[in-house]
């Protein structure tokens, strides 16, 4: 029926909970019993090497892949029982592939995020336009509203897709590598914007990341995956330890604290491998 | 009430009034004005088309004197011919726009993908078989529809590689289907008697010669039913531009949508082919021009293609009738002569920079 049919108000019910997920492609199992939960207002980072199953896990969480085992619950309701359009009003996903066919404008792309809220013959109302423009504004894209999506840089395009997800007004955002290929400034800005959404709009955010320092800075919880299984799951300080990371990434890792902020700081250390001479 | 400076800054930032900038997105006002302009263009082209032909007639006498040859030529030849041009052009252009959205390829079109060719073979087989065995008037369009649907599904399936629809593979499969259906039609042509040979040639070339009002009714009726289905899913077709996965995540049942659009477009192509044969490139040229002028939103592009395609076909058929009067050029030859170079131009554009037009 409507988004209201998915109860989103009880704070004790996690926005999203996955239990013992097994999933994969025909003949290729990818995930082996992964569990997680994320509360409204929380950001969960999923980290791990390439091929650990991060993107597959997101596909299971957004309902586009049916797990071979385990359950996914959205605000306490099994995700398989929720109609597609209701799901689209509650969960917004941004994948890694963001190719667009045909010359749509940036505003048109962001307004597509309103589709799950509109009937077949409804035009976007001033209210929908306001939502789209504030989503564009949040990612600093308002000046590009009338440009064709093909004319934008990769980083700008990425932000357009994040703005489209925002225009869906979701309770849960599932982001696959939202900061890949972005420069330092935009990595910080995008993650800060989603942090704001956690705080201001009680959004639950799940994001896969390669950047461990970004995960340490912005995420409330971190899930560390290797070969489709959970290595560690908890707060950044609990998960992002030298021991865990060396085990998962099979390289030497230094974990310390940023002397000026006290934030967790992860660096490749390469103790065993030859490096430059740092004596000077 | 956020503590972060960035959030409070965005809260007080001046809102750009996007609602006034209608060129950045589709508004109802723009939809109405564009469709009105195209309708005026269509009416104008229809009026020109009924006024000219191989014979000079007086429209005044045609309307006032029902015993005059002018009356007979107007109602017996010109009017059904122009109405058929409207119906067939509208159907082909709207189908082109929908198929392009479905396969995310601006070069896709019923003729180019071999769907019209399949439909024509179906129509010919129906004509040859059922003319002897006897069958209702619905048999020909029905067989054309069945064969068009079969072609659509086959072309789509064969172009899928590892679940991905590679744009140029799709076009190549279409080329092969066209060659194959063409050969099959020639085969039928060589085994049936001379009586059918003219009809078969007519289907291969694509022509609006000598239609009946009944045929106009069939094409217009089936065309409108199919178009209603396309129009109901216009927004879903927009979402498909983001990719199957993103469309599904925005609430579209992509597999069901694809099946429905396949059936609707096959009904439309089957109806058009069964009366006019293979008229290619209309579904390529018209949606492309309109997309360039008015944007990619299918809520506007589909009805604009319907009206624009009708106007285009009426003009093309006028040229076909008067260029070498009293002889006639098949209208399919006119559209192919325009469409061939147009296709090559677009193909090179797409290969260099996808969707740059």
> Hey, what CATH class is A3-268 in?
alpha beta
User: What does the block give as tokens for A85?
Assistant: 């359009």
* Residue B171 vs residues A267, B58, B108, B175, B335: alpha-carbon distances, Å: 50, 47, 7, 6, 19
Chain B nearest-CA distance from A200, in A, is 7
Q: Which of residues 189-208 of A touch B (CB under 8 A)?
A: 189, 192-193, 195-196, 199-200
Per the CB < 8 Å rule, is B18 touching A132? yes
Per the CB < 8 Å rule, is A120 touching B250? no
**What pLDDT shows up at residue A121?**
79
Positions of E strands within B37-185: 160-161, 164-165
User: What does the block give as tokens for B235?
Assistant: 């927004």
Among B241, B251, B295, beta carbon nearest to A116: B251
**What pLDDT shows up at residue A279?**
64
In chain B, residues with a C-beta closer than 8 Å to the C-beta of A107 are 18, 24-25
- Among A81, A139, A83, A74, which residue's Cα sits nearest to residue A107? A139
Test the B interface: residue of A101, A165, A169 with most B CBs within 10 Å? A101
- Mean pLDDT lowest among A23-27, A41-45, A116-120, B189-193: B189-193
Per-residue confidence at A2, pLDDT binned at 50, 70, 90?
A: very low
User: What does the block give as tokens for A148?
Assistant: 């064709």
Which residues have C-beta within 8 Å of that of residue A8, sequence separation ≥ 6? A15, A40, A75, A90, A171
pLDDT tens-digit series, residues A199-229: 999 999 999 999 999 999 999 999 999 999 9
Q: For residue A141, is pLDDT > 90?
A: yes
pLDDT tens-digit series, residues B75-84: 888 899 999 9
Write the DSSP symbol of residue A175.
Answer: E
In chain A, residues with a C-beta closer than 8 Å to the C-beta of B289 are none
User: What does the block give as tokens for B24?
Assistant: 């950045």
* CA closest to A169 among chain B residues: B250
Q: Position of tokens 């579904």? A: B283
**What pLDDT shows up at residue A30?**
95
Whether omega for the bond prior to residue B326 falls within 30 degrees of 0, making it cis, is: yes
In chain B, residues with a C-beta closer than 8 Å to the C-beta of A64 are 245, 248-249
Can you give the pTM of this predicted structure?
0.89
Per the CB < 8 Å rule, is A88 touching B251? yes
In chain B the domains, ranked by start, together with CATH numbers, are 30-46+59-352 (1.10.3470.10)
> What span, in angstroms and rounded, lies between the C-alpha atoms of A163 and A184?
19
> What span, in angstroms and rounded, lies between the C-alpha atoms of B269 and B278?
9
Cβ atoms of residues B205 and B332 within 8 Å = yes
Per the CB < 8 Å rule, is B295 touching A104? yes
**What pLDDT shows up at residue B201?**
74
Does B241 contact A at CB distance below 8 Å? Answer: yes
Cβ atoms of residues B84 and B211 within 8 Å = yes
Among B104, B105, B249, beta carbon nearest to A62: B249
Q: Which residue has the higher pLDDT, A122 or B257?
A: B257
User: What does the block give as tokens for B343?
Assistant: 């296709």
Which residues have C-beta within 8 Å of that of residue B204, sequence separation ≥ 6? B120, B182, B185, B277, B278
- Structural element, H or E, at residue B242: none
* Residue B116 vs residues A157, B263, B268: alpha-carbon distances, Å: 38, 14, 10
Chain A nearest-CA distance from B249, in A, is 6
Test the A interface: residue of B25, B232, B299, B349 with most A CBs within 10 Å? B25
Q: Which of residues 72-91 of B touch A (CB under 8 A)?
A: none
Q: Which of residues 4-23 of B touch A (CB under 8 A)?
A: 4, 6-7, 10, 13, 15-16, 18-19, 21, 23
In chain B, residues with a C-beta closer than 8 Å to the C-beta of A109 are 242
Chain B nearest-CA distance from A229, in A, is 25
* CA closest to B229 among chain A residues: A120
> 3-state class of A180 per DSSP?
coil
pLDDT tens-digit series, residues A38-79: 999 999 999 999 889 999 999 999 999 999 999 999 999 999
**What pLDDT shows up at residue A4?**
44
Per the CB < 8 Å rule, is A123 touching B26? yes
In chain B, residues with a C-beta closer than 8 Å to the C-beta of A100 are 241-242, 355
Per the CB < 8 Å rule, is A100 touching B106? no
**What pLDDT shows up at residue B254?**
93
Q: Which residues of chain B have pLDDT under 50?
A: 1-15, 19-20
In this structure, the number of other CB atoms found within 10 A of the CB of residue A184 comes to: 10
């Amino acid at each position: 029926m409507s988004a209201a049919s998915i109860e989103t108000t009880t704070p004790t019910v996690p926005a999203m909970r996955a239990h013992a997920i097994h999933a994969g492609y025909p003949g290729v199992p990818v995930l082996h019993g992964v569990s997680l939960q994320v509360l409204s207002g929380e950001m969960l980072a999923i980290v791990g090497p390439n091929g650990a199953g991060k993107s597959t896990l997101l596909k299971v969480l957004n309902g586009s892949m049916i797990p071979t085992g385990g359950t996914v619950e959205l605000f306490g309701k099994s995700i398989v029982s929720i109609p597609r359009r209701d799901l689209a009003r509650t969960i917004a996903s941004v994948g890694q592939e963001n190719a667009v066919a045909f010359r749509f404008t940036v505003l048109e792309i962001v307004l597509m995020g309103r589709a799950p809220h509109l009937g077949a013959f409804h035009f976007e109302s001033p209210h929908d336009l306001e939502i789209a423009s504030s989503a564009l504004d949040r990612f600093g894209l308002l000046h590009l509203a009338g440009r064709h999506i093909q004319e934008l840089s990769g980083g700008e395009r990425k932000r357009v897709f994040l703005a489209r997800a925002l225009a869906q007004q979701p309770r849960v955002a599932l982001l696959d590598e939202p900061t890949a290929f972005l420069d330092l400034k935009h990595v910080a800005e995008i993650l800060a914007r989603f942090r704001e959404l956690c705080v201001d709009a009680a959004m639950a955010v799940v994001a896969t990341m390669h950047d461990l320092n970004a995960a340490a800075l912005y995420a409330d919880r971190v899930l560390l995956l290797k070969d489709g299984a959970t290595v560690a799951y908890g707060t950044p300080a609990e998960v992002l330890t030298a021991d865990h990371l060396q085990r998962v990434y099979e390289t030497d890792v230094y974990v310390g604290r940023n002397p000026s902020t006290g934030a967790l700081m992860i660096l490749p250390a390469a103790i065993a491998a030859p490096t430059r001479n740092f004596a000077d | 009430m956020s503590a972060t400076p960035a959030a409070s800054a965005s809260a007080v930032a001046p809102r750009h009034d996007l609602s006034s900038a209608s060129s950045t997105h589709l508004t109802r006002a723009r939809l109405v004005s564009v469709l009105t302009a195209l309708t005026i263009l269509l009416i104008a082209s229809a009026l020109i088309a009924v006024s000219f032909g191989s014979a000079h007639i007086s429209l005044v006498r045609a309307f006032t004197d029902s015993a005059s040859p002018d009356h007979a030529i107007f109602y017996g030849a010109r009017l059904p011919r122009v109405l058929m041009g409207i119906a067939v052009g509208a159907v082909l252009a709207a189908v082109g726009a929908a198929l392009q959205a479905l396969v995310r390829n601006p070069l896709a079109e019923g003729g180019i993908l071999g769907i019209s060719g399949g439909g024509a073979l179906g129509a010919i087989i129906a004509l040859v078989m059922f003319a002897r065995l006897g069958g209702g008037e619905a048999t020909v369009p029905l067989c054309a529809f069945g064969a068009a649907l079969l072609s659509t599904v086959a072309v789509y399936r064969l172009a899928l590689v590892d679940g991905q629809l590679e744009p140029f593979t799709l076009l190549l499969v279409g080329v092969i289907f066209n060659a194959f259906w063409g050969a099959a039609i020639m085969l039928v042509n060589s085994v049936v008697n001379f009586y059918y040979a003219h009809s078969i040639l007519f289907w291969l070339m694509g022509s609006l010669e000598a239609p009946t009002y009944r045929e106009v009714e069939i094409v217009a009726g089936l065309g409108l039913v199919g178009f209603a289905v396309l129009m109901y899913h216009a927004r879903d077709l927009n979402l498909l531009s983001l990719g199957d996965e993103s469309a599904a995540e925005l609430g579209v049942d992509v597999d069901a949508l694809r099946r429905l659009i396949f059936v609707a477009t096959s009904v439309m192509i089957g109806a058009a082919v069964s009366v006019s044969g293979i008229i290619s490139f209309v579904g390529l040229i018209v949606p492309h021009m309109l997309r360039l002028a008015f944007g990619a939103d299918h809520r506007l592009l589909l009805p604009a293609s319907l009206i624009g395609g009708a106007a285009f076909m009426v003009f093309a058929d006028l040229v076909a009738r008067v260029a070498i009067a009293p002889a006639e050029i098949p209208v399919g030859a006119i559209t192919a002569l325009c469409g061939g170079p147009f296709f090559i131009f677009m193909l090179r554009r797409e290969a260099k920079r996808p969707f740059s037009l």
